A and B are shown apart, each in its own frame.
Chain A
């Protein structure tokens, strides 16, 4: 039996063997044919420099340390990017493709090219670009689904729009600890966000502390360059999130709300930050108690310089208090942080209007330096027929009166004109004051609105009707002077050559109407220079339109010892820029005072 099997298996049968004659060999082909790689083959790196932001995460994840970030001096990086580009050493690379899977922008890919043949060792180390790209759909490409990163953020829980529009309570519910840590873990620590922050906060550091649930450490990092962390953690314009690497393909890390969460977890800043005991025997006057002055005063006090803030209103906070509605920034948060600044020894003189109760020159004589942080408090009007009189408000005044608790009477059908954050605040405040219908008129397109996306969405959720590409031309009043209608025309976007963005051109031939009883104009605000004597208006250098003061790097104006910051200097006009200006001015003042010594 055994023998029989042996004999049987001795050879392949004739026909069995014959089939190999015509078979094409699968492995080696003569003459040499280059093997066609599979679509997903992991070959040589390709990097799209246009998309690459030089964050260095590929170098960070490389298990073979084959990737090195190399500076390309000819590149001028845009916001949220560096001019570093990865260089790959193919003596080390193991073609695992994890660099591709961790790439936040998707610029990096492994092509199906696999041949580098050279006798020069240096040819195996190069900075990948698009030269060896095997085309889209080939190679190991980065996609959001299979990326190692999660491009979805934890959304901030909000109150139901139907409920929240009835009162002025905070619309946000705040993160739970679990949510905050779950969101904080997304931070890769590449620190490109810091470029976006006007004051350059230590964002990766404080987010890492949040991830480790060490909120005190987190707050310590924040106070290095921002004395109002919880305020910023609530209403900041979060330029950091626009610079976040996740923003390129998905949702940025919730940097703003994480900051607010951590700051909110620390009840007593004094324990963490302490009170400065330094004494410098100098004093500085600050005009206006807004974020710029508060920030400046805080950092002056940290160095022992006495800071006295002159505030015309009876409350501190400037636009934070008077411009931002309470449903966005509750009083408790604002007063907690202002109280801590006061605790540092900052004196605030309320109800004293510079130029009326005390002159600007007096301040200059009494103090070693003066900081102007008066902000943009005067609302503008359109100047169309009928905009003088009852029923027409400018947004700045309306919001200020509401925030100060004054009684404001508006009608049931409100028209808000404008497309910025203030316009959004005005629409939502109008709803809370009892308006039944709120129409927002903006002359450009929805995408052109300067208001932040979330403000737009929140306003829409609360029922504001957006009428974009419309331009009110006349406010019609009845014989009693009450507003009955607003006439408007539609606009057309016309792109002019050389212009930055298309221009709205009204189509005057077709005039339409809204039934309206109240109009709120949120078309921009202006500074108020009335506190400055005329001769000083000439001494201090302004820009062409007298909108902004021109300052040097230390925030000092053309006049020695006079510093300025906030909206009156910075066209970006947001709280964080003002805080950054204030801090910069504080450092400038300290420098100036020491020089004079």
Chain B
């Protein structure tokens, strides 16, 4: 766009704004209602995770590292466990693998519910956030029952999960899934097929295929742009290759609408995965004994582990020098590419009224860009 002139408006969105997920802000210059330039501002949330990790024993990092992401903390735990298991060549018990899948997919459902509420709220459909956040509580209840924590679960450990499922947990999961499936119909009626939603979101904030690839966008944002890439399918981690599920490839326009609908369809797929996992889940142990948490060592070496989070490809690069502390841990969060760089590109020229919706539709989680 053109040069910023003295009399153009300057706005700050965030750090406390419903359109921004978490503590970050965007600095906007606008000419009338049209955005000329947008600059993301980080630094509100820097907790130095990557450095803190280096000062703690491997096992002590589980309660710490998951704090990177509030809506979906489990991916961090699972990644750390995966990295250690890969370096130490640990065979994780089967049952633990299945429990991990259930936890990850439940977390994805919870994150998507958060997302639906966010996008709808940014448009002005305030009933939807009330519903989705309320329904998310059913999932949090399941988490509470399984892990003892509602938001931060701290449930994964090296070689499995910390406790076995409580009695009757599987049935209650299925019950919640039934409920959510039923609920999806209501969401469709009130949200996904709502004329206001269609009108406001179609053709807005377009990320086309080339741009998405150029900015290394991953996850549902990339799939909504027409690139059918999902780590669960392309490079299956854990035991995802044992499940029958589809990666929806219907919406390819890359606009806000496609991104929301992509997630809507994936929501149903996740429910499918959980049902299969519960169906197939074997009995047996859920963890291995690490014998001494203070002397637990990880073989020298480095590894990059990644998984498909609700926001995109989430990866940890872990380096161990063979000691009781990690030598280095680098977090590759999905939000860095689409939250900082891509926004600058796509938001220019859009209407100021659409900006919070665009930001929310990209599902930016600031702390994973700012570890």
Contacts and interface: CB of A to CB of B under 8 A. Distances in A.
A113 interface: no
A509 interface: no
A591 interface: no
A13 B188 CA distance: 12
Interface stretch (A58-66, A492-500, A567-575): A58-66
Interface stretch (A3-11, A357-365, A441-449): A3-11
B186 A12 contact: yes
Nearest to A6: B195
Nearest to A2: B198
Interface stretch (A185-193, A412-420, A546-554): A185-193
Chain A interface extent, by class = 35 or more
Nearest to B138: A26
A91 B157 CA distance: 25
Nearest to B290: A148
A92 to B, nearest CB: 11
Interface stretch (A39-47, A292-300, A316-324, A338-346): A39-47
B141 A38 contact: yes
Interface stretch (B36-44, B58-66, B213-221, B237-245): B58-66
A333 interface: no
Contact of A94 (B152, B189, B287): B152
A8 B292 contact: no
Contacts of A2: 198
Given A26-B134, A27-B133, A148-B290, A9 B193 contact: yes
Interface stretch (A97-105, A393-401, A469-477): A97-105
Interface string B173-197: 0000000000000101110111100
A27 to B, nearest CB: 5
Interface string B138-153: 1001001111110010
Interface string A135-166: 00000100000101110000000000000000
A120 interface: no
Contacts of A97: 148, 154, 162
A110 B154 CA distance: 14
A202 interface: no
B291 A96 contact: no
A16 interface: yes
Interface in A185-224: 185-189, 211
A95 interface: yes
A40 B59 contact: no
Contacts of B157: 148
B163 interface: yes
Contacts of A94: 63, 152, 154
B294 A186 contact: no
A104 to B, nearest CB: 11
A40 B162 contact: no
B10 interface: no
A98 B163 contact: no
Given A8-B193, A146-B163, A211-B295, A98 B149 contact: no
Given A26-B137, A148-B290, A149-B292, A39 B60 contact: no
Contacts of A8: 193
A5 B257 CA distance: 15
A385 interface: no
A41 B154 contact: no
23 contacts: A2-B198, A7-B195, A9-B192, A9-B195, A26-B134, A27-B137, A40-B145, A41-B148, A60-B294, A61-B57, A61-B59, A61-B293, A61-B294, A63-B63, A94-B63, A98-B60, A98-B154, A101-B162, A110-B148, A150-B289, A150-B292, A187-B295, A189-B294
Q: Across the A-B interface, give the 5 residue pairs with the lowest CB-CB distance, nearest first.
A: A9-B193, A96-B63, A6-B195, A42-B148, A63-B60
